[in-house]
Each structure stands twice: as C-alpha cells, then as structure tokens.
C-alpha cells in the first residue's frame, strides 16, 4: 500500500514536472518565435541555374521538359556578372521586409555557397566562379535583417540520392541502406556547414515529401540545428519537426490553426526567373493579399527570381518599391501587431496593436464616405488615418439606453485621405478591444 501511495505521489510529481516542462517549452517557443510574429514580411529568393534559360526550377528536368544534361549546361550562363548583394538587400529593406529566405540549394542540388561537399556549386561548377551566398548573408546582417536559408532535402543530381527524374529512381533505401547513409552524411554535412558559416535565424526546408521523417532522420536534424542555435526557427517542411506552417500560393480563406504561419507567394506564376512569364500580380493585389495575411496572424514570404547574371527583373523591382511605399507609410499598423477581429465586425482586414487597444482597419478602394464597425463595445477615444494624420469623426447608431448592444459605428472617411493602394484607419479604444458576440440584437428578453 505504502509503495502504491509513494508511486502515485511520484507519478503526480513527475507529471507536474512534465507539465511545467511542457509549459517552459511553450513559452520558450513563443519567445523564439517573437521576431517572426512581428516581422510580417519576408522576401523569398529563388536564384539558381534555372534562371539562365528561364525554366522551372529543378522540376523542368525532373518532369522531362529538358534533359538533365541540357539542364546542367545552364552553368555556363550562370555568370552572376551583375550581382550586387548590397543593392539586393537595399531593395529588400525598402520593401519593408524584415527577413529574407534564399535558396542555398534547390532540388537540382546546385549550391550557391562554397560547399566542401562536391563541386556542383557557384564557385567550382559555374561561370560565376564565386560564392554568391556569403556576401548576401553579410549584407542582410549589416542591415539588421534576419537570415533565412532555404535548403532542399532532395538532391536530384547527387548520385547517391534515391530520386533522379520522375520515371527513374536510382535505388530503394531498403535495398541499399549504405548508399542512403552516404547521402545522409552528405546532406547533414552541408547543413552543419550552413549552420557553422551563417548561423541562420531560420531554415526553410523543402521536399520532405520524398521520404519519411525517419528516413531523413528529421528529429536528429532538428536537434542538431537547435544545439547549434537554440533560437533558430525551422519551417514545417522537415516532416513533423517544424515550428510554423507554410501554406504555398493559396491565401488561407479561414484563419489557420497554427499560431505561426507564413504564406509563400510568387509575384507571377514562377519561383525562379522566367522570361516568358508576365502574369504578375498587381501592386494592389499583393498589398490586398498581404493585408489578409497579417489580418489572420501570418507572414507573407513574397518571392523574387533574379536572372542568371544576378540582376533583378524590372517588374519585380517595381513591385517591391511600390510595396515599400505602402509598408513604410503604414508601418504602425503592420509590424509588431497581432491578428485582427472577426470579419462580422468589419468587412475587411484588420490588425490589433499588441496591447489590443488600437484597432487598425484596412480599407480597399473608395468606400463612398464612411466605413462601418459593428458590435464594438468599446468607446472610441480617437480615430486617425495612418501615415497621413487626419483625425476622423464617427457616429454611433442603433445603440439604445436599455440594452448593452453596442450599436453600429460609422466612421467618416473623406476622399482626400484615401491611399492609392489601401487606406488604413487607426481606432484608439478606451481599453482592450471588446466585441459583442452575443446572439441577440437590440431586443432582449430581460
Ligand atoms: C515547392 C517546389 C519548389 C519551390 C517551393 C517554394 O515545394 O518544389 O520548386 O521552391 O515550393 O515554396
């Protein structure tokens, strides 16, 4: 009996301890994710051999649009002659991004840095003849931007990797475990190298779908990277080992369940530079998507695809500059904010200051004189146009003295304060945001 009591007691202590430990990990995780949550905008860069012909990154040979041999000929055109990392970072900074994620190695296996593992890289295997990753990372650091490294787990050009092209698998792991071990050493060695050289703030894995977590040794890889830098962040594509979700191309319609997420998005329809792809989203569309993303508590990772000579296509520069004008003007409504209020209260994107006392309303186009806020219980202390300063007046209608139904607030918005892309209105509340979420409207039974 005594034994039983002791073991129950011990069990209680341990489970308490386990709970506390779990809480610790949760709060440590929140802390580590703070900069990411505040950053809102990152610039994704797909730069590699594929930019030379302007074809699909890696997939073009995997899917058989070009032979692997011909794909590799692009190494000649990958000159990086006009590559100006300082100008790249300047543009990224101007766009309002707080971090950047660059393809250190895509599925084709071509590395942008001087890796010790093989010759298929920008130093030894292409006309560029130089490490093009290091100067970019240095510029990011110099400018206080966070460093994200994209790394493809699959390496379709590596002779000891399983997959090669869609219809041709080199071997099965079960048949040649030693060969797979060789690949594991190779890719994990490269990751160590990246970690030692750049100490990235974020790793952006890709291609995990080709193998299981066990086969990639994903938990071990996570541990290895965290041992080196406990604050580093991993995206969700290392099987089950990620810190945040990465919806791709599709703006989530409902708010994602994961607290931390990032929408990666192309400006046109391609990740890498494709001369033939002119299907660019407009500035308005990108800003609209961005507002939706931050309204739902996510980040936008907007992609650019530099050419083989290192220059950034004009259309992409123009979009980043336009975006920069808008983010700079509206910075108080963007950075360090949290997701906004449910759509029933305001038919558009919203964000909230971290202390929940300022509500930012994002208004597209010309609403024709006023915008409508429904079911806000707070009194409003002041309203102004973000980045412009005009104070706005409002009217409360539908509020009656015998009910706590808060009525509808109409904010007068004159045409002359409208932003050319999207206007933002700041609503300073008399306390933390408080929303009327009850069933009834004005008529209540008691
Ligand atoms: C996909 C593609 C890849 C691209 C990536 C970006 O996973 O395989 O080509 O780099 O998405 O999110």
Q: In the chain, what are the helix, strand and coil shares in percent, each to the nearest 5?
A: 35, 20, 45
Joined tokens for residue 262: 């990032």
Beta bridge partners of 301: 42, 264
Residue 209 Cβ contacting ligand 1 at under 6 Å: no
Residue 206 Cβ contacting ligand 1 at under 6 Å: yes
Kindly report, residue by residue over 250-277, the tens digit of the pLDDT: 888 888 889 999 999 999 999 999 999 9
For 13, residues 6+ apart whose C-beta sits below 8 A from its C-beta are none
* pLDDT at residue 16, rounded to an integer: 53
Joined tokens for residue 110: 């071509």
Alpha-carbon gap, residue 55 to 296, rounded angstroms: 34
Alpha-carbon gap, residue 338 to 126, rounded angstroms: 44
Residue 355 has a CB neighbour count (10 Å cut-off) of: 10
* pLDDT at residue 26, rounded to an integer: 66
- Which amino acid residue places its CA nearest to atom 8 of ligand 1? 207
For a pLDDT cut of 70, what percent of the chain falls above it? 93
Kindly report, residue by residue over 379-417, the tens digit of the pLDDT: 999 999 999 999 999 999 998 888 888 999 999 999 999
From the list 294, 386, 352, 341, the residue with the least C-alpha distance to 40 is 294
Q: Output the CA 206–ligand 1 centroid distance in Å.
A: 7
Residue 57 Cβ contacting ligand 1 at under 6 Å: yes
Mutation test residue for ligand 1: of 103, 206, 236, the one with most atoms within 8 Å of CB: 206
Cα of first residue to Cα of last residue in the chain, in angstroms, is: 57
Q: Output the CA 144–ligand 1 centroid distance in Å.
A: 27
Contact 256, 245 (CB under 8 A): yes
Beta bridge partners of 206: 152
From the list 293, 410, 422, 413, the residue with the least C-alpha distance to 364 is 422
Residue 262 Cβ contacting ligand 1 at under 6 Å: no
Where residue 18 falls (left for φ over 0; alpha for ψ -120 to 50; beta otherwise) is: alpha
Q: Output the CA 73–ligand 1 centroid distance in Å.
A: 22
- Which amino acid residue places its CA nearest to atom 5 of ligand 1? 206
Q: Output the CA 322–ligand 1 centroid distance in Å.
A: 25
Mean pLDDT by 10 residues, the chain (446 residues): 45 49 67 97 98 98 98 98 98 98 98 98 98 98 98 98 96 98 98 98 98 97 97 94 90 88 97 98 98 97 98 98 98 98 97 98 95 97 98 94 90 97 98 89 50
Atom of ligand 1 nearest to the CA of 237: 7
pTM of the model: 0.93
* pLDDT at residue 295, rounded to an integer: 97
From the list 8, 6, 27, the residue with the least C-alpha distance to 16 is 8
* pLDDT at residue 354, rounded to an integer: 97
């Amino acid at each position: 009996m005594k034994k039983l009591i002791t073991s129950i007691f011990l069990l209680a202590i341990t489970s308490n301890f386990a709970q506390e430990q779990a809480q610790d990990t949760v709060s440590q995780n929140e802390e580590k994710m703070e900069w990411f949550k505040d950053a809102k905008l990152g610039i994704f860069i797909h730069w590699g051999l594929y930019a030379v012909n302007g074809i699909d990154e890696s997939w073009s040979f995997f899917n058989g649009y070009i032979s692997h041999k011909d794909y590799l000929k692009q190494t000649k055109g990958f000159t990086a002659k006009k590559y100006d990392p300082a100008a790249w970072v300047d543009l990224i900074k101007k766009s309002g991004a707080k971090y950047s994620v660059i393809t250190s190695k895509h599925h084709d296996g071509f590395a942008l840095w001087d890796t010790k593992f093989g010759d298929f890289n920008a130093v030894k295997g292409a006309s560029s003849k130089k490490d093009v990753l290091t100067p970019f990372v240095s510029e990011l650091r110099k400018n206080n931007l966070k460093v994200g490294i994209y790394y493809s787990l699959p390496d379709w050009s590596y002779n000891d990797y399983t997959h090669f092209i869609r219809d041709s698998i080199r071997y099965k792991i079960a048949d040649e475990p030693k060969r797979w071990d060789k690949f594991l050493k190779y890719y994990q060695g490269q990751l160590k190298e990246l970690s030692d050289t750049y100490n990235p703030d974020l790793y952006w894995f890709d291609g995990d779908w080709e193998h299981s977590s066990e086969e990639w040794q994903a938990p071990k890889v996570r541990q290895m990277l965290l041992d080196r830098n406990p604050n580093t962040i991993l995206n969700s594509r290392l099987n089950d080992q990620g810190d945040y979700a990465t919806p791709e191309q599709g703006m989530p319609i409902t708010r994602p369940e994961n607290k931390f997420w990032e929408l990666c998005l192309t400006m046109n329809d391609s990740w890498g530079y494709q001369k033939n792809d002119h299907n660019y989203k407009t500035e308005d569309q990108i800003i609209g998507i961005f507002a939706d993303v931050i309204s739902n508590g996510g980040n936008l990772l907007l992609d650019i695809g530099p050419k083989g000579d290192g220059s950034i296509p004009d259309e992409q520069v123009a979009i980043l500059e336009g975006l920069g004008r808008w983010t700079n003007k509206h910075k108080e409504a963007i950075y360090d904010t949290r997701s906004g209020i449910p759509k029933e209260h305001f038919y558009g994107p919203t964000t909230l200051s971290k202390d929940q006392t300022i509500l930012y309303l994002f208004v597209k186009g010309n609403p024709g004189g006023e915008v409508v806020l429904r079911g806000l219980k707070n009194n409003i202390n002041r309203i102004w146009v973000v980045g412009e300063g005009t104070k706005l007046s409002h009217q409360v209608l539908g509020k009656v003295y015998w009910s706590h139904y808060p009525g509808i607030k109409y904010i007068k918005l004159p045409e002359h304060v409208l932003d050319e892309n999207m206007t933002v209105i700041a609503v300073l509340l008399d306390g933390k945001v408080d929303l009327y979420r009850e069933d009834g409207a004005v008529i209540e039974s008691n």
